[in-house]
A and B are shown apart, each in its own frame.
Chain A
């Protein structure tokens, strides 16, 4: 019985280790991948964002210029993933950003991101001022 319990313990530890490693790698991929900041097929742009972890909460800021605040959506897609989108006030074309060798237009900001520490998604608070979204997520501390 004791041996079975210890085996389960080691297996849990390995599971935790690989889960953490996977999260870590995903964070690195997200941070360093050389890919465009837009998705032409979806007509979306990825906004600039920043995340700060304090002892009591996770604070995320997202720069959403030219967006209509009424269309903004901040959705937890699981216990540590957030999906954020917002419609722009108007369509933005490559041409008006000085790019003429690409054709296409964008109408929405969209991205999803992992919160690296456990948080209480149901107690999320958001504010939006001058195109800057601020999300506050209280941290969930293990008992």
Chain B
């Protein structure tokens, strides 16, 4: 048995866009993913099963669910984790998800996340940046009005997703919105979703997400705290570092 198994609950359509929302800085990806599930009416279509995962299940309406699930429709697949991934799990989990996505002939992989910003509380505007697995995909994203992230370090699931996709020749994008490092940031989630809308043409109403911002911040405190612990183990602060480019 493979160490990580994706269990399908129903027929998975081919040719979709596969999105990823994992706990990370500002919980941007998770908040954005949760909003997409509601707004696009996505259903759980598969889940991750592995003895490598911590012994945690999520109860919804009294029945157990994996902490890592894939939601979907005929256009979109969305991989979401309700618990932060420890550094040693990132490679095996992301590899398994991307290989599975490739087997489902996904057209594009897009990870939604944040990039920490100093003095975020004083920011009046949050920028969204994109990094891509290929130069062609990056050009496409730029043409659709998203600024590219040209140099810098990226740490976490979205970094591994990009690298693995590049190795497999899959078109992949990581969209990151400027955000708080340590605090849930629904405003940044709105911005990253605006970036997603630009790139994919999906229709997503942000009004509810904006209106529920304070409630989300209150509810997400515990997940944020656990995520902080994992971020510190994976040296997430390296994203603040200035790289020395070696050509």
- For A96, give the chain B residue with the smallest CB separation: B215
Q: Are B221 and A66 within 8 A (Cβ)?
A: no
Band of interface residues on A: 10 to 19
Q: Are B218 and A37 within 8 A (Cβ)?
A: no
By a CB distance below 8 angstroms, the chain A residues around B91 are: none
Q: Are B121 and A130 within 8 A (Cβ)?
A: yes
Q: Which of B121, B122, B215, B224 contacts A48 (CB 8 A)?
A: B224
* Residue B222 CB within 8 A of the other chain: yes
Q: In the complex, which residues 216-240 of chain B have their Cβ closer than 8 Å to any Cβ of chain A?
A: 217-219, 221-222, 224-225
**Contact A134 B121, CB 8 Å, known A50-B182, A63-B183:** yes
In whole angstroms, how far apart are the Cα atoms of A134 and B180 in the complex?
14
In whole angstroms, how far apart are the Cα atoms of A61 and B119 in the complex?
10
Interface size on B, residues (CB 8 A): 16
By a CB distance below 8 angstroms, the chain B residues around A45 are: 218, 221
Q: Are B218 and A48 within 8 A (Cβ)?
A: no
Q: Is the interface of B mostly helix, strand, loop or mixed?
A: helix
Q: Are B218 and A66 within 8 A (Cβ)?
A: yes
* Residue A97 CB within 8 A of the other chain: yes
By a CB distance below 8 angstroms, the chain A residues around B215 are: 65-66, 96
In whole angstroms, how far apart are the Cα atoms of A107 and B181 in the complex?
26
- For A109, give the chain B residue with the smallest CB separation: B218
Q: Are A47 and B121 within 8 A (Cβ)?
A: no
By a CB distance below 8 angstroms, the chain B residues around A48 are: 182-184, 221, 224-225
* Residue B39 CB within 8 A of the other chain: no
Q: In the complex, which residues 168-213 of chain B have their Cβ closer than 8 Å to any Cβ of chain A?
A: 181-184, 213
**Contact A66 B182, CB 8 Å, known A48-B224, A129-B121:** no
